[in-house]
Structure 1
Amino acid sequence: MSATLQALGLDGSTAEYLQSVPDDLVPGRVARVDRGLATVLTEDGPVRATWSGALLAAMASDPQAGPCTGDWVVLRFWPDDRITLESVAPRRTAIVRAEVGGSSRGQVLAANVDVIAIVVGLVPEPNIGRIERFLALAWESGARPVVVLTKSDLVGDAEAIAEDVAVAAPGADVLVCSATTGFGMDSVRSLLDDNATMALLGSSGAGKSSLVNALAGVELLDVQDIREDGKGRHTSVRRELIALPQGGVVIDTPGLRGVGLQESGEGLAAALPDVTALAEQCKFKDCVHVTEPGCAVQAALEDGLLPYRRYESWVKLQREAAYMARRTDARLRSEMKKEWVRASKSYRRDFKPRQ
C-alpha cells in the first residue's frame, strides 16, 4: 500500500484485506458521510461516492453495515464517471452508542480508531459522572481511552482537578492542556505518533475544535465561545476525519448531549473496575446490591471504601445497559418472527401439491 494510505492510518490487518479485493477496485478511507454520499480519501485525492446495490442490501438488514467516518472502503469507478462505494472493510474498533431516538439499534460514531480522547473543558468544572459514561463508551470500542482536560489557562487548580479525574478514570491517562497557550499540547500530539487515528468525544464547548486547530497548526475549524450559562455551543455539525500535516489522523465529532450505552460488556467493567470487582464478591450471583445479605458492594459503602457517587454512577449505567439489552432481544425476536412469517407465506405460495 502507498505512503498516502499509510499516512491516513492504514494498519496491517486492513492492508491485508484491501490487497485481497479485485484490482479494478480502489481503496480509500471515509472522511465523512452526508445523506447517502461519502467523501472518501484515496491515493489520488478525495472523491464523492454513492452506495452500491450490494451495500444497500447489507444496510437494509443491518444499519451498522453502512459506512461511517473512519471506515476503510473499496470504490468502483464507472465509465460514466459515477463512483460507488462497494464494500466496507472489517472494523478493528468501533465507537457505538445507543441511538438518540430510543431505538434498540446502535449508532456507529467512528471506526478504526486507535485512541479516543475524551475532551473535557476545565471551565465549567468537569462532571465526573459524565466522564465515567464516556469512558464506558470508549472502553467498549476497543480503542485506548485518554481524558484530555482543556482550557487549563482559565483555572488555577488544573492539576488538582486532574488528580480527581484520574481517580475516576483508572487505566486511562489524564492530560491537561491549553490550545490557547500551547501548554501540554506536546503530550496530546504524542497520541498521534505512528500515524495513529484519534477520535475526539465530548460535550459542546469542551474545546474539541480548538484542539484540532492547535494540532494542525492552522485554523481548520470554526470555534465559538461558551454561553453565559456555561453550556457549550455546537460548532462541529458532522463527524469528519482530518489528516494532519505532521502525521496522524483526527476524527472530530459534534458535541454529544446524550451518551447512551449500547452494551454493558467490557466497557462498563473497565470504566468502573472497583465496583465491578466488588460486585463479583457478593454472596449471591443475582445480587442487585441494595439490601441483599452478603453484598460486598453495600459493605464497601458502609466502610467508606467505595464512594457513594461512584456506586450511583455504576448502578445507573448498569440499569441503562440492561434496558438496552432487553430492547435489543425484543427487536431480534420480532425480526425473527417476521422472517418466519415471510418464509411461511413464500412456501405456501410456491408449493404446489401433486394432482
Structure 2
Amino acid sequence: MELHNLGFDHWFERQLPTSLQKGCGVARVCAVDRGIYRVRNGSGEIPAELAGRLAYTLKSPDELPCAGDWVIVSYYNDDAAALIQQVLPRKSFLRRRSPGDSRAIQMIAANIDTAFLVQSCHFDFNPNRLDRYLAMAADGGVTPVVVLTKTDLIDREDLEQKIALVAAMTTAEVIALSTVTGTGWEALGPHLVAGQTACLLGSSGVGKTTLINRLVGRKAFETRAVSGTGEGTHTTTRRQLVVCSQGALVIDTPGMRELGLADAGEGIEAGFEDIAALAARCRYADCSHGGEPGCAVAAALQNGELAAQRYANYCKLKKESAYYALSSLDKRKKDKAFGRLVKAVKKRKDR
C-alpha cells in the first residue's frame, strides 16, 4: 500500500526534513496501547517503540505519538521493527484533559478529516456530552458528523425529536442508522473517501464496534451486549487505525464518558454556533451577556429562542476552558485562594 493511500499528502510532505538518514522512513501510527506502538508503512504493519533521544526531549504527554500521527522511524531487525525518531506536525487533532488530572492533555487521535460523534438513541443519548464532542472537534479543526445509532429501538416520532434537537445544536450533518434494519448506511459513504481518515467518538455501548466492523467488512473487533441500565462495556481498549473495504481509514477509540476540555476557547465558539451568532448581534463587541443593554443572548434566553440548559452548557465549558488556560502558577494561586476562602467560611460557622 502506498503512503498516499494511508493519508500522506502534500501537506505532510512539506513537513519532512530536507533528507532522511539512511535506514529511516515515514510511517503512520496505527495503534497505541499503554506506551506500545504499531506503525504502518508501504510494506505493512510492524511494532515500534520510542527512540531514547525522542523520549528524553519530549516536554509533555501530548507530544507523544498518538493514533493517526505521521512519524519518522528507523528500522532494525531486517525492517521487522522500528524506533520512532520524530513526530511530524499535526494537521488536525482530537484531545481532552487527562482523566483525573486537570493540567495534562491526552491526545486521542491526530490528522483526522472527519469525526463521527456516535450517540445511541436508546440509553446513551446525551446532548450535554454531544456539546463537548462538538467543541472538541472544532478545537482540533476536525469536521464533525453526528451519528445516531440503534434507531430501531425507538419509534419514528422519538427519532425525529432527537434529530431536531441535534439540528438545533449544530449545523453538522446528522446521520440516523440501524445495524438491524440497515437504514442510514448509505449516508456514511460521502465521508469515507479513500485516503481520508475518520475517527469514532462515543461512550461504551453506543455501537462503535459494530459500526467499524461493518465499515471494515469483517469482524475486526468483538462486541458485547449492553447492560439493562444502558451502561456499555469497554470492548475497545486501545486507539487504532484500520483500513475500510473502500480504502478509507478509520480510528476506533475506547468509550469515553469523561471529556474535560483543554484550552479550547475558539473550539467552544465554533461548537456553539447558535450562541456565537447571537453574540455577534449584541450591542457591545465585548458583551459578557451578564445584563448589558442590547444583549442579544439575554433577549434570546428571555423569548425562548435559546434554551437555558444549552446556554448553561456553553458557560460551563467556557469557564472550564478558561481555567485550563491559566498558567500552572496562576492555577496554584487560584486553588490556594479558594482553599483560604473555604477555611474562612468554616471558621465563621464554628464561631
Q: Same fold (TM over 0.5)?
A: yes
Change (3 A) 1:299 1:53: same
Per the alignment, residue 99 of structure 2 pairs with 100
Are the equivalent residues in 2 in contact too, given 1:149–1:177 (CA < 8 A)?
yes
Change (3 A) 1:57 1:331: farther
Provide the C-alpha distance between the structure 2 equivalents of 1:89 and 1:231, rounded to a whole number of angstroms.
38
Structure 2 residue identity aligned to 1:180 = V
The percentage of counterpart residues that share the same residue type is 38
Provide the C-alpha distance between the structure 2 equivalents of 1:135 and 1:162, rounded to a whole number of angstroms.
15
Pairwise CA distance, 1:169:
1.6
Are the equivalent residues in 1 in contact too, given 2:33–2:239 (CA < 8 A)?
no
Change (3 A) 1:298 1:54: same
What does residue range 94-173 of structure 1 map to in structure 2 within 5 Å?
94-124=93-123, 126-157=125-156, 158-170=159-171, 172-173=172-173
Q: Compute the TM-score of the two structures, normalised by the length of structure 2.
A: 0.86
Change (3 A) 1:329 1:156: farther
What does residue range 322-341 of structure 1 map to in structure 2 within 5 Å?
322-326=322-326, 330=330
- The 10-residue stretch of structure 1 (73-82 or 210-219) with the greater mean CA deviation from structure 2: 73-82
Change (3 A) 1:246 1:281: closer
Provide the C-alpha distance between the structure 2 equivalents of 1:19 and 1:286, rounded to a whole number of angstroms.
43
Per the alignment, residue 342 of structure 1 pairs with none
Pairwise CA distance, 1:265:
2.5
RMSD across aligned positions (CA):
2.3
Change (3 A) 1:105 1:280: farther
Are the equivalent residues in 2 in contact too, given 1:104–1:327 (CA < 8 A)?
no
Provide the C-alpha distance between the structure 2 equivalents of 1:26 and 1:137, rounded to a whole number of angstroms.
32
Are the equivalent residues in 2 in contact too, given 1:58–1:65 (CA < 8 A)?
no
- The 10-residue stretch of structure 1 (16-25 or 184-193) with the greater mean CA deviation from structure 2: 16-25
Structure 2 residue identity aligned to 1:138 = A
Unaligned runs of 5+ in 2: 334-351
**What does the per-residue CA deviation read over 1:205-263, in whole Å, with 9 as the maximum and x for residues that have no partner?**
11100100111121111111211112222111111111123201110001111111112
- The 10-residue stretch of structure 1 (312-321 or 178-187) with the greater mean CA deviation from structure 2: 178-187
Pairwise CA distance, 1:284:
5.6
The equivalent position to 2:4 in structure 1, one of 6, 10, 26, is 6
- The number of equivalent residue pairs is 329
Provide the C-alpha distance between the structure 2 equivalents of 1:295 and 1:153, rounded to a whole number of angstroms.
43
Are the equivalent residues in 2 in contact too, given 1:264–1:321 (CA < 8 A)?
yes
**What does the per-residue CA deviation read over 1:275-304, in whole Å, with 9 as the maximum and x for residues that have no partner?**
223334445666543444443322221122
Q: Secondary structure at the match of 1:195?
A: coil
**What does the per-residue CA deviation read over 1:105-157, in whole Å, with 9 as the maximum and x for residues that have no partner?**
21110000000000111112621121111100011111111001111222222
Provide the C-alpha distance between the structure 2 equivalents of 1:175 and 1:20, rounded to a whole number of angstroms.
43
Per the alignment, residue 202 of structure 2 pairs with 202
Are the equivalent residues in 2 in contact too, given 1:189–1:215 (CA < 8 A)?
no
Structure 2 residue identity aligned to 1:103 = S
Are the equivalent residues in 2 in contact too, given 1:99–1:260 (CA < 8 A)?
yes
Q: Secondary structure at the match of 1:180?
A: coil
Provide the C-alpha distance between the structure 1 equivalents of 2:248 and 2:222, rounded to a whole number of angstroms.
21
Q: Secondary structure at the match of 2:15?
A: helix
Provide the C-alpha distance between the structure 1 equivalents of 2:19 and 2:197, rounded to a whole number of angstroms.
24
**What does the per-residue CA deviation read over 1:173-200, in whole Å, with 9 as the maximum and x for residues that have no partner?**
1011112332111221331113210000
What does residue range 64-75 of structure 1 map to in structure 2 within 5 Å?
64-75=62-73
Provide the C-alpha distance between the structure 2 equivalents of 1:63 and 1:44, rounded to a whole number of angstroms.
29
Provide the C-alpha distance between the structure 1 equivalents of 2:319 and 2:130, rounded to a whole number of angstroms.
18
Pairwise CA distance, 1:332:
11
Q: Secondary structure at the match of 2:318?
A: helix
2:192 is aligned with 1:192? yes
Are the equivalent residues in 2 in contact too, given 1:116–1:199 (CA < 8 A)?
yes
Are the equivalent residues in 2 in contact too, given 1:73–1:87 (CA < 8 A)?
yes
Per the alignment, residue 342 of structure 2 pairs with none
Provide the C-alpha distance between the structure 2 equivalents of 1:276 and 1:75, rounded to a whole number of angstroms.
43
Structure 2 residue identity aligned to 1:65 = E
Provide the C-alpha distance between the structure 2 equivalents of 1:78 and 1:225, rounded to a whole number of angstroms.
42
Pairwise CA distance, 1:69:
0.5
Provide the C-alpha distance between the structure 1 equivalents of 2:185 and 2:74, rounded to a whole number of angstroms.
40
Provide the C-alpha distance between the structure 2 equivalents of 1:46 and 1:315, rounded to a whole number of angstroms.
44
